[in-house]
Structure 1
Amino acid sequence: MDHLRLVSAEACDLRSVLRAIRSGDAPMSAYADYIDRTRGQMEDLIAPLVGDDAIRHIQNTWEQMQANRLLRDPHAEYDAQEQLQLLGLLDAQCRQIVYWTGLRTVPERLKDWLELSEPGYAIPFHAVFEDEVPDADDRQKILDQLAWSPSFLKAAGGIVDPVSGLVYRYDSRKSGLRQGFSLVYVLGMIALGVAVVWGLQQLPPLDARPLADLEIGWMAVLAGVVVHGVIAMAKGLRSQGALPPGLPINRFLILLNARLGFVLFRVVVALIGYLGLVYAVSGSPLATGFVFNAFLVGYSLDSMVELFGTTLDQRSAAQLANLRKQFGT
């Protein structure tokens, strides 16, 4: 793996120089010696490689690069059109070498990242491996292949979300029963929301409203959150084009365990948004279409909380300005 990473580093650096020459930022003569040395270094690195089809692709691509006149003799003079064509070919071939080396090295390095991470964390795949595989399309191809073979990262406790580009870490040492405790945490947080609504209903101005209506509204908010999540998942599956969607039921607990912190956070934010709605709407909840509004709050949770937070910021700023005026500061 370390040997392949050296090949990738040489190809990446050579590609950056070729692009600088191609864009006119530097003359060919300034980097002729560097290109000549890099050709020898890459030959020494690639020649002893032995392995699978990815290695064969690397070797074949390198053989194609060696047939390029510009790489063989960078000190020669070329007309502008020919030089651009040769530079374009070398750039594309360097990209191929970077991709095929990344296909072998990136998954192994991702395993190392997962083993060093704690359950519940998410690794931003594109940000982490941007230097190793600069082209986003190539990184996405590698990420998709990891998503299509979930057993590869199973031992390291990783599960891939190819749409968001995140790789979630879950506790692979736990059995399915122990991972099921994540569901208990979620239900406990929902029950806490029920208790908070009950407590606030005992105090004015909510004491004039039926408790059952307020609790139904809280369930409607959660229903909106779930519906929004299902629709977002459907959009993600549709974005994969002609690829058949995969929804393995036995991975539900793994997904919940990997994203437990995010799910609990969403429940808390849902409760905040719901309380904002409760105190903003007056009258009988059911008589004013309150349940439907609560469902919409859950569905458009982020926007609702942002609007509620902006209102609080404005009111607190006005209150602070009023206090400063009263105290003459």
Structure 2
Amino acid sequence: MDTINNIKDLFSANIDALAPIITLTLIILFIKIPYIRSLINKSNEDDSYISPKDKEEKEKRRQKRKILNQALRELRAEISDLNSSFDDIKQGKTTVTTIADYIQKTNKDVKKLFSTINDLNEDFHSDTIRNINNYWEQMKYNPILVDPSQSMSPQDQLHHLSMLEAKAKKMILAICFLTIPHRVNIWLQQSRPGYYLPFHLLFEEDLPSAEDRQRVINTMAWAPKAMESGIINIESGLIYRYDPRRSAQYCGFLFLLLIFYTLSVGIWLFGKHATYFGLTDITPKLILLAWLAVLAGMFIHIIIGKFKRSQETGLPQVVATSDWLIYVSAHKGDITLKLLTALFGLFAFTFSSGSITMISSFLLGYSLDSFIGVFGSSLEKKAEAQYSSLYKKIQG
């Protein structure tokens, strides 16, 4: 009973500080009411004022685009396998005459796919599909594809194979520019907010060239609306999933605000009773300011890291202030982890030193975020290093 009474007394004595926690919790629960949630989500829908006829037309185009993407993926598979055969011939693993029947069969399959693709493209008028057609037209008149059973000198055969491989790689890249964004959206739909997709690992088989993959992800990042629920980090090659519902984004932000305020109240209460732990120099105001200084140090380290990566790539950082809710939704787990790390670091430093200053707290936060970057984000760091070298190759 004494413990319960002590808790009641503590709550009563600090009701003003604890009231915002209750308020934020009630707001989150209020937003989660189905009717309120539907109103918030509806206000953010791009097609909420589109007529039924336009919605139907939009759905038809979406279905045609889906069929077109499937045909393009099949075409990529055919060309990729054919290109692998050309590589086997150059390495002496097989000969043109040995796989002549396969080449002729692939030739016929590709023609059928192009018939379907060109029919569907009449509604989209894609320049990229026109380029894909041109690449194939340059390939199909190659003597190896025209008559693979004919005899030719090794030098001529090597020349024709090199030409076919070069055009096939360009065709595959052009196809991936069209199909990969759609495939990424499908992956994102199967994921949860906060998870990420390692782009280079997922599409390494489709595009063996790391430089080609980087070109594709750059194009996707420069057209953010192509991703239905993902944020792209082109330096690391990671695509983070966010919740597309505006109500969920608000709830996520309020939840982080609730965590931050709850931790701040806990720190303030600790400061009030610091003498119980033998910390006579600690006051509630001092430790709260130290808490903010730790967070400021972590924030500055993040900003400096972004500017460093911007200098390495030669491209300025994108600062889209209107997307802050989306960013919070995608990185809610990371932000929570940083808050907890800052809390642990603050208490560890306070107990070890017995006193705190604003400068030491700021440097603590700066070094803490650096520690997380080294030991907690090794995948991103390796990917960013790879991106930097690839970007230099592309530009050079």
TM-score when normalising by structure 2: 0.66
Consecutive unaligned residues in structure 1, runs of 5 or more: 307-329
Instruction: Judge conservation of contact 2:298–2:369 (CA < 8 Å) in 1.
Output: yes
2:230 aligns with 158
Which of 152, 173, 188 is matched with 1:99 structurally? 173
The CA RMSD over aligned residues, in Å, is 3.0
The alignment partner of 1:163 has SS state of: coil
- Give the Cα separation in 2 of the matches to 1:63 and 1:202: 79
1:218 aligns with 291
1:265 matched to 2:333: no
Compare 96-105 and 247-256 and name the one that shifted more: 96-105
Give the 3 Å change call, closer, same or farther, for CA 170–11 of structure 1 in structure 2.
same
1:191 matched to 2:264: no
1:73 aligns with 147
Q: CA deviation at 1:126?
A: 2.5
- Give the Cα separation in 1 of the matches to 2:132 and 2:374: 52
- Give the Cα separation in 1 of the matches to 2:348 and 2:374: 9
- Give the Cα separation in 1 of the matches to 2:127 and 2:375: 51
Q: CA deviation at 1:16?
A: 1.6
Which of 173, 187, 190 is matched with 1:116 structurally? 190
1:285 aligns with 356
Instruction: Judge conservation of contact 1:269–1:305 (CA < 8 Å) in 2.
Output: no
Compare 12-21 and 80-89 and name the one that shifted more: 80-89
Q: Deviations over 1:93-113 (max 9, x none)?
A: 111221222222222222222
1:170-209 equivalence runs, <5 A: 170-174=242-246, 179-197=249-267, 198-199=269-270, 202=274, 207-209=279-281
Q: CA deviation at 1:255?
A: 0.9
Give the 3 Å change call, closer, same or farther, for CA 293–150 of structure 1 in structure 2.
closer
Which of 113, 119, 124 is matched with 1:45 structurally? 113
1:144 aligns with 218
The alignment partner of 2:149 has SS state of: coil
Give the 3 Å change call, closer, same or farther, for CA 141–305 of structure 1 in structure 2.
closer
Q: CA deviation at 1:15?
A: 1.5
Instruction: Judge conservation of contact 1:147–1:160 (CA < 8 Å) in 2.
Output: yes
Q: Deviations over 1:135-193 (max 9, x none)?
A: 3322222222222222233xx32222222222222222215xx6344333333333344
2:83 aligns with 15
1:300 matched to 2:366: no
The alignment partner of 2:244 has SS state of: coil
Q: Percent identity?
A: 31
- Give the Cα separation in 2 of the matches to 1:191 and 1:48: 58
Give the 3 Å change call, closer, same or farther, for CA 173–293 of structure 1 in structure 2.
closer
Instruction: Judge conservation of contact 1:270–1:301 (CA < 8 Å) in 2.
Output: no
- Give the Cα separation in 2 of the matches to 1:104 and 1:303: 34
- Give the Cα separation in 2 of the matches to 1:304 and 1:17: 43
Q: CA deviation at 1:264?
A: 1.0
The alignment partner of 2:192 has SS state of: coil
2:301 aligns with 228
Give the 3 Å change call, closer, same or farther, for CA 33–304 of structure 1 in structure 2.
closer
Amino acid at match of 2:319: L
Q: CA deviation at 1:204?
A: 6.8
Compare 78-87 and 101-110 and name the one that shifted more: 78-87
1:249 aligns with 321
